[in-house]
Amino acid sequence: MLKNNHHKNQPLFEPELSVVILCYTMEKEIFNFVNKVKADFRNNDINDYELILVANFLKNSNDSTPKYAEQIAQENKNIKCVCKVKKGMMGWDMKSGFKKTGGKFIAVIDGDGQMPIKDLLRVFKKIKTNDFEIVKTYRLTRGDGIWRKIISTVYNLIFNLFFPGLKAKDINSKPKIFTRNFYDKLDLKSNDWFIDAEIMINVRRLKAKIAEIPTEFLGLCGKRKSFVRLPAVFEFIKNLVLFRIKEFLYTR
């Protein structure tokens, strides 16, 4: 479908669903993940969609993910890839993927296999058949270690103390899916791991209609390790304070 009115560098091709897949350092695992997404969509008669593979890489790294992402995009007309030298971490990657989307609904998921792929369909069906602006998962059970569980519990506790009223069960959980209209209201700034929290702060500020559905958090696939380290915890707390101040000034 072609339209003349598009926003935020939105491409002219507008499928019903755009899925941004964060593929940093996934290397050959990206083939397996993409094939599973395609199979799940095909088995559920989801045909009007596009996948955006975000395979940004660190300068001078040996990450082969961009090469594989480009190969997949060349072989599939409804798959695009973003392969740039990184100028940030997850937030920068996510934003670079969003800019490539053209869909009426925009979803984002990590490509590391921690979140069940079937959740993409679950959040899509939920937002498509209800009057929600954003639908996301929350991790009811977890297959990762005690350290990640503690960090997640602390994250969500502090977030809800700083930003009361939203009562988010799990701010970082994906997939998240939102309407094009909601996305056009966002002006995301975070280039780091705080991007999920920033989205949820916007949900609170805009009083967006949100739904959360339970999911199971799986372990990491392959040799890839978690990027969550102690410095990321302090960075998260610092960002919470800064965004809390910004929200105070915004509401005055």
Q: Are the C-beta atoms of residues 84 and 55 closer than 8 Å to each other?
A: no
Residue 238 in domain: yes
Q: One-letter amino acid identity for 91?
A: G
Q: Which residues of the chain have pLDDT under 70?
A: 1-13, 143-145, 219-230, 251-252
pLDDT at residue 52, as a whole number:
98
Residue 126 in domain: yes
Reduced to 3 states (helix: H, G, I; strand: E, B; else coil), residue 128 is: helix
Cα angle at 91 between 88 and 94, to 5 degrees?
A: 110
Q: Are the C-beta atoms of residues 120 and 40 closer than 8 Å to each other?
A: yes
Q: 168-195, pLDDT tens digit by residue?
A: 899 999 999 999 999 999 999 999 989 9
For the record, the structure tokens of 75 come out as 């072989």
pLDDT at residue 142, as a whole number:
73
What value does the mean pLDDT of the chain take?
A: 89
pTM for the full model? 0.89
Residue 65 in domain: yes
Residue 156 is part of which domain span?
A: 17-251
Q: Tell me the C-alpha distance between 116 and 118, whole Å.
A: 5
Residue 132 in domain: yes
Q: Tell me the C-alpha distance between 155 and 233, whole Å.
A: 8
What is the enclosing helix (H) or strand (E) of 176? strand 176-179
At 98, which CATH number? 3.90.550.10
pLDDT at residue 226, as a whole number:
53
Q: Are the C-beta atoms of residues 194 and 235 closer than 8 Å to each other?
A: yes
Residue 44 in domain: yes
Q: Tell me the C-alpha distance between 188 and 110, whole Å.
A: 18
Residue 12 in domain: no
Residue 23 in domain: yes
Q: How many distinct structural domains can be found in the chain?
A: 1
pLDDT at residue 3, as a whole number:
44
Residue 9 in domain: no
